[in-house]
Amino acid sequence: MYGDLKLTFTQNCLNEYMQRVADAMRMQANRLKVGVTDEGINSIAWQVIQSGGGTFGNLKFKEYLRFVDMGVGRGHPLGGLTSMKITLQSASKNGMAQVKDKTRKAKKIYSPVVYGGLNHLIGKLSYGFTEETIALLKQNMQDGNTIA
């Protein structure tokens, strides 16, 4: 019944979400002082694609930004712990201990931004297609405008 209107509504919701995510990632990266050359921040791009009867969003950026988000790299394991042998003074024995040493700190520029906004998008897609929205979309389609 509302096939084209639903598709238009879904595309508009995804466009808003992807734009919000890209802007928030750039703002978070600048706030956390990620990158020296800004090549990674400038690589953040998105697109909404219609495929068959549905739409999907595609967020692209340089791969190393995910590693910055997780706090790994430069030979450190995921937890950032290095193993080192120490002498246990109390028992005069040798043993292994996990010591945080020169670890890279996670700079959360991706995970909280992208996954934090998903509930809002899901709610909007689930409950946002109301009679008022349908009337607004019909009016915009008749006028030849699109909602950005």
- Whole-angstrom Cα distance, residue 3 to residue 34? 43
How many Cα neighbours within 13 Å face the side chain of 61? 23
pLDDT of 82: 47
Q: How confident is the model at residue 25 (pLDDT cuts 50, 70, 90)?
A: very high
**Residue 134 sits in the same domain as residue 87:** no
- Whole-angstrom Cα distance, residue 77 to residue 1? 53
Q: How many structural domains are present in the chain?
A: 2
**Residue 122 sits in the same domain as residue 55:** yes
pLDDT of 76: 53
**Residue 111 sits in the same domain as residue 65:** yes
Residue 55 lies in a domain: yes
**Domain ranges, residue 139:** 3-71+106-143
**Residue 10 sits in the same domain as residue 81:** no
- Whole-angstrom Cα distance, residue 60 to residue 83? 35
Residue 61 lies in a domain: yes
**Residue 17 sits in the same domain as residue 81:** no
**Residue 9 sits in the same domain as residue 62:** yes
Residue 148 lies in a domain: no
Q: How confident is the model at residue 19 (pLDDT cuts 50, 70, 90)?
A: very high
For the full predicted model, state whether its pTM sits above 0.85: no
**Residue 64 sits in the same domain as residue 34:** yes
**Helix, strand, or coil here: 93?**
strand
45 — phi, psi (to 5°)?
-145, 155
pLDDT for 34 beyond 50? yes
If one compares 84 and 64, the residue with the highest pLDDT of the two is 64
Give tens-digit pLDDT for 36-47. Answer: 788 888 999 999
